[in-house]
Amino acid sequence: MKTLSHLIFLWYIQAMNYEILSKDFTDKLLERFLRYTRQWTTSDSLMADQGIVPSTERQRDFAQLLAQELKELGLTDVSISDHCYLCARLPATPGMEQVPAVGFLAHMDTSEEVSGQNVQPQVVRNYDGNPVRLAGGAVLDPAIDTKLRRVVGDTIITSDGTTLLGSDDKAGIAIIMTGLERIIREERPHGTIEIIFSPDEETGHGMDFVPMDWLTAKQCYTFDGSTGGEIEDECFNAWKSEVVFTGKAKHTGYARPDMVNAVSMMADFLSLLPRHEAPETTDNYQGFYCPMDLSGHIEESRVTVYLRDFDAKSMENRKKAVETFAQAVAAKYRGSAVEVKHTQQYLNMKAKLDQQPHIMANLVKAVEQAGLEPIFRPIRGGTDGSRLTEMGIPCPNIFTGGHNFHSRMEWASLSQMAYGVLTLLNLVSLQADTLSK
């Protein structure tokens, strides 16, 4: 039985969702998002790790579709680089040429962890708060996924349960495109606005070939977050450790005493990784070790372990721990060898963003003006923005209304996406206000 306080809460949530969904741009926002999710843009980490960006040509197909749409909005400075970065610039309106340029980013690819081919988005209007049943027995249940409780009366979009949805990050692209359209159609005063839609963010290579010489904005924002109101200025420090064990092959029937099984070495190594420091056993500011890929045979085995930590010193300890575990295993197997190679993937962006506090201050104000209370949470991952910040252009992350990324249980909130559009419009207006200060 629902209590009076719970009924009041539901009424308040429904009223908020009804108000934002009544905005005249939400139908177009939804149409764009559905159209984008149907585009197959899964990236390929093996190809990207070899320096091939875009890692799949289907990302270029999507870039061309978006480029045409931008041109139809009236933008003339639209280009796609050799590495499939879609760049578009909207010049400042008359009298606003001295306003500092601002950039907005989102990525075109979707994760390869779950199929992104033949996505069939499902639209649930006026969501009633009950479980939503998907194909294959999957259920979106607000008793488990508590974020569903905040979208009663909302329009939510799910996959059909056989694929991911792709709100990561096509919700971000839909927000940026819709915001840009509103600025142009309503003739809002603005400084220079620059857009970059990138390939291969999900592979960790989203900023490898970003055209820095094209970008004039000295501050940017990515739309690649989750729950409405969330803004993020810190993320993991991320490294990967590639561990190679070398054994000695011999006929298994006559292996004693000198066969060394590299597969067994890898298994022993994996058993040493702390179970309480895995992705599925940590949250908030806790770091982890995560074996991501392995292969091998008796003579050689390989495993790639992702290391994540918010603190730089703790990350150094994690790297040393991996080396210690690997050497301990090698010492156990006489005649074996092991090599460990650490590669930096991205760094925590907070220190650099703290050096320019006005960027986050503007973002906080933009979210509040949109009608939401800012929510500060660390990113338990990374974004193109964290890489761009590391490269010298501060770039915090903004919510998109997507949830349960990289899974068949993925869903998106149209009202939260609409708040994202308002946040973008507010950021552009706040940037224009700097001219009068």
Q: Which of 154, 181, 201, 410 is catalytic?
A: 201
CA dihedral 291, 396, 282, 405 (to 10 degrees): -70
Q: Which of 44, 109, 154, 224 is catalytic?
A: 109
392-420 in b/e form (b: 16+ CB < 10 A) is ebbbbbbbbbbbbbbbbbbbbbbbbbbbb
29-57 in b/e form (b: 16+ CB < 10 A) is bbebbbebbebbbbbbbebbbeeebbbbe
Residue 95 gets the label, from left (phi > 0), alpha (psi -120 to 50) or beta, of left
User: Cα(240)–Cα(22) distance, rounded to whole angstroms?
Assistant: 46
Beta bridge partners of 342: 241
287-325 in b/e form (b: 16+ CB < 10 A) is bbbbbeebebebbbbebbbbbbbbeeeebeebeebbeeb
Residues 6+ apart with CB under 8 A from 11: none
> How long is the chain?
437
Whether the Cβ atoms of residue 410 and residue 402 lie closer than 8 Å to each other: yes
Tell the residue number behind the tokens 């660390």, with chain if given: 378
Neighbours of 122 (CB within 10 A): 16
Token couple for 20 = 């934002």
Strands laid side by side in the 237-246 sheet: 288-296, 300-309, 237-246, 337-346
Can 109 be counted among the known catalytic residues?
yes
Residues 6+ apart with CB under 8 A from 141: 131, 148
Neighbours of 96 (CB within 10 A): 15
User: Cα(224)–Cα(107) distance, rounded to whole angstroms?
Assistant: 8
Question: Mind telling me the catalytic residues?
Answer: 109, 201
